[in-house]
Chains A and B, each alone.
Chain A
Amino acid sequence: VSFFELPPEPEEDDEELEPPRPVWAGPASDELGAEVPLHLAIGESDGALVALQSVTAYEHGLVLHLAARAKREPAEPTEDDLHSFPDGHFDYLDPRSPKFVRFGVQFADGGKATNLEPVPSWWEDDPPEPQGPVLIGDPGSGGYEGPGTDLDYWLWPLPPPPGLRVVVEWPEEGIGESSAEVAVAPLLEARSRNTRI
């Protein structure tokens, strides 16, 4: 018997370990989507801005691309900051923190969803289809003290015409509850440009 035994051939069915994602939990993996620029400032204070930069339209839902930006040069980090994160660095990920960028939508038929609600657990076996609209978010790619945070939210289902109300609040930056209306028809029409990979 050799000292070194070669490992067995890898199993080929790794992909089947991932349950298929239900249509309400995100775009299909073969959809590229269609981009609709908006550049819509939803909430703004002297020191900060939250804007709906664009929407990517898919067959069964939308991805809303938000930019939260402080209107100031980032603070100078200390030497310690370079070796460990300062206390409270991740507060912007905590919905109870004033640093968290609160975001929500209201449909013309009254349906509502916010990023303060827990996300339905779509990854479990055979999850029930949610009743109302859902927002499933990316907690943000940039840190709070950096140039800002980009927030992408998947919204399901497609909102009914005529308008989608988008609402933000960012207490830490002095942005109180603020909202703007987005025309739904151009978003639905954009889906004709949705490409399949």
Chain B
Amino acid sequence: VEFFQPLPPPRPRPAHPRRPGFGGPWVGPPANVLAGVAPLRFVLARTDTAVVTVTEVHVYPNGFELELTVHTLDGADFDGRWFRLLHEPLDRTGAVRPEFLRFGLSFADGRKATNLDSTTQEWLTALGKGEPPREPLLRLHGAQGDGREYTFDYWAWPLPPPGSLSFVCEWPGVGVPLTRYDVDAEEILAASRQARLLWGEEGRFYRPGGGSYVVLSRSEPDASTEEET
């Protein structure tokens, strides 16, 4: 028997970047729309060791994307463990780790979405079934970085109502208290009006994260349109 066994043939994968999907405009940005850009680029929180910024606010008719970046400052003792913990909100007892960077949005009508929502089974089950969320949604669609900075790509649904929109964070492990940064939601709403349909129909093609996109059927979801596992 050879030490290095040849690899088995690749498992057949669906030959579709697009797949039948279920859900609605909350799942992600449209695949056929060029986003509008909001003039937002700001420091959300700052300590001696880290700075948290919000940039790349790209707005669609149904919601917006943003980048939340942690910049470590010179001499900061961050390492791979820290960045791993940024993806593990809960410890073994179910408590939120102090090292976890809490982030959320607060709308003028009192509704909010946070990056802790996805830790609840109810949230995951509803999203998995394609049910409309009862509250605004904040979904992590990607993350990348190195030892000096780390960026989270978030999708926020829906568009905020007019009035104040707050970006909120708290990071106990790094000494960041509950911090809010308020903007006029009109900054986002104006950018949504600059979004441009490029092809196809509105409201059917969405990117729920990753490279592929889903095509929503216009009828109610049934077993034949459910996502493959």
Is B13 an interface residue, CB under 8 A from the partner? yes
Shortest Cβ gap from A54 to chain B (Å): 4
CB <8 Å contact, B39 and A39: no
Q: Mark A60-90, 1 if CB is under 8 A from B, else 0.
A: 0000010101111110111101110000000
Residues A35 and B71 in contact, CB atoms below 8 Å apart: no
Question: When the two chains form their complex, are residues B37 and A195 in contact, meaning their CB atoms are under 8 A apart?
Answer: no
B37 and A53 contact, CB distance less than 8 A: yes
Instruction: State which residues 175-229 of B face A: CB under 8 Å.
Output: 191, 194, 196, 198-200, 205, 207, 211, 213
A39 touches B37 (CB 8 A): yes
B81 interface contact, C-beta 8 A: no
User: How many Å from the CB of B203 to the closest CB on chain A?
Assistant: 15
Judge if A33 is at the interface, Cβ distance under 8 Å. yes
B39: chain A residues within 8 A (beta carbon): 34-37, 54
State whether A73 touches B42 (Cβ < 8 A).
no
* Neighbouring B residues of A105 by C-beta, 8 Å: none
Residues in A with CB closer than 8 Å to B32 are 73, 147
Instruction: Say how far A174's CB is from chain B's closest CB, in angstroms.
Output: 15
Give, as a whole number of angstroms, the nearest-CB distance from B114 to chain A. Answer: 24
Majority-rule SS of B interface residues: loop
Q: For B213, what are the chain A residues with a Cβ–Cβ distance below 8 Å?
A: 147
Nearest-Cβ distance from residue A152 to partner chain B, whole angstroms: 11
CA distance A73 to B200 in the complex (A): 7
Say yes or no: A39-B194 contact (C-beta < 8 A), given A32-B55, A33-B41, A146-B211.
yes
Contact partner of A34 (CB less than 8 A), chosen from B16, B41, B194, B211, is B41
Q: Is A73 in contact with B199, judged by CB distance below 8 angstroms?
A: yes
Closest to A57 in B: B41
> When chains A and B are docked, how far (Å) is the Cα of A54 from the Cα of B39?
9
Q: Determine whether A6 belongs to the interface, using a CB cutoff of 8 Å to chain B.
A: no
Task: Tell me the smallest distance from the CB of B9 to a CB of chain A, in Å.
Answer: 10
Q: Does A49 contact B (CB under 8 A)?
A: yes
B37 and A83 contacting across the interface, CB-CB below 8 Å: no
The reply to whether B15 and A82 contact each other, CB–CB distance below 8 Å, is yes
B10 interface residue (CB < 8 Å to A): yes
Q: Which residues of B contact A71 (CB under 8 A)?
A: 198-199
Closest residue of B by beta carbon distance from A194: B41
Return A145 CB to nearest CB of chain B, in Å. Answer: 9
Q: Does B34 contact A (CB under 8 A)?
A: yes
Query: Does B43 contact A51, Cβ atoms closer than 8 Å?
Result: no
- Residues B191 and A37 in contact, CB atoms below 8 Å apart: yes
Task: Check: B53 CB closer than 8 A to any chain A CB.
Answer: yes
- Asked whether B15 lies within 8 Å of A197 as measured between CB atoms, the reply is no
Chain A residues with Cβ under 8 A from B38's Cβ?
Answer: 35, 37
Inside 8 A of A73's CB, which chain B residues have their CB? Answer: 32, 199-200, 205
B31: chain A residues at CB < 8 Å are: 147
Please state if A56 and B41 are interface contacts (CB–CB under 8 Å).
Answer: yes
B171 CB to closest chain A CB (Å) equals 16
Q: Which residues of A contact B199 (CB under 8 A)?
A: 70-73
- B51 interface residue per 8 A CB criterion: yes
B70 to chain A, nearest CB (A): 11
Interchain nearest-CB distance for B192 vs A (Å): 12
The interface residues of chain B lying within 8 Å CB-to-CB of A53 are: 34-35, 37
A197 with B17: CB separation less than 8 A: no
Most buried by A among B37, B73, B200: B37
Contact A197 B198 (CB under 8 A): no
Closest to A38 in B: B37
The interface of chain B, by Cβ under 8 A from chain A, is 10, 12-13, 15-17, 31-32, 34-43, 51, 53, 55, 71, 73, 191, 194, 196, 198-200, 205, 207, 211, 213
Beyond contacts A54-B39, A69-B198, A197-B53: 6 other A-B pairs, Cβ-Cβ < 8 A, are A35-B39, A53-B34, A76-B17, A147-B32, A147-B207, A197-B51
10 CB < 8 A contacts A-B: A32-B53, A35-B38, A35-B41, A39-B36, A53-B37, A71-B198, A79-B15, A82-B13, A147-B213, A197-B53
Q: Which 6 A-B pairs have the closest CB atoms?
A: A54-B37, A37-B37, A35-B41, A39-B194, A79-B15, A35-B39
